[in-house]
């Protein structure tokens, strides 16, 4: 993760996943965040997964998404696009 200034920052991750029910493989992604005001976080992210990320999802997928997180006084929580659960 790195601060780019003016409310912009990014987070990147990569790793190798061992799945006991399916094939093993890469899990990697990157998010570009913009925090226009305290408590608001807008994230544009992309994720490549060789292993199913959630039940019912097929492995080896490239996923992109836009996520808005609104904080109501609580500490920031990880985005669904990050591998930080």
- Give, for all 85 residues of the chain, the pLDDT tens digit: 666 778 898 889 999 988 777 678 888 999 999 988 888 889 999 988 887 766 666 667 888 899 888 877 656 555 555 554 4
pTM (two decimals):
0.62
Q: 3-class secondary structure for 40-64?
A: EEEEEEEEEECCCCCCCCCCCEEEE
Q: In what order do the strands lie in the sheet with 61-70?
A: 2-5, 8-17, 25-34, 40-49, 61-70
Quote the pLDDT of residue 85.
Answer: 41
User: Tell me, what DSSP letter sits at residue 39?
Assistant: T
Q: How far apart are the first and last CA of the chain?
A: 16
Structure tokens at 1: 């993760």
């Amino acid at each position: 993760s790195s601060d780019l200034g003016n409310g912009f920052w990014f987070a990147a991750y990569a790793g190798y996943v061992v799945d006991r029910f399916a094939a093993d493989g890469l899990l990697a992604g990157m998010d570009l965040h913009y925090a226009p005001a305290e408590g608001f976080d807008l994230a544009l992210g992309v994720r490549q997964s060789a292993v199913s990320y959630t039940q019912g999802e097929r492995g080896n997928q490239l996923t992109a998404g836009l996520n808005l997180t609104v904080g109501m006084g609580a500490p920031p929580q990880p985005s669904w696009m990050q591998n930080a659960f």
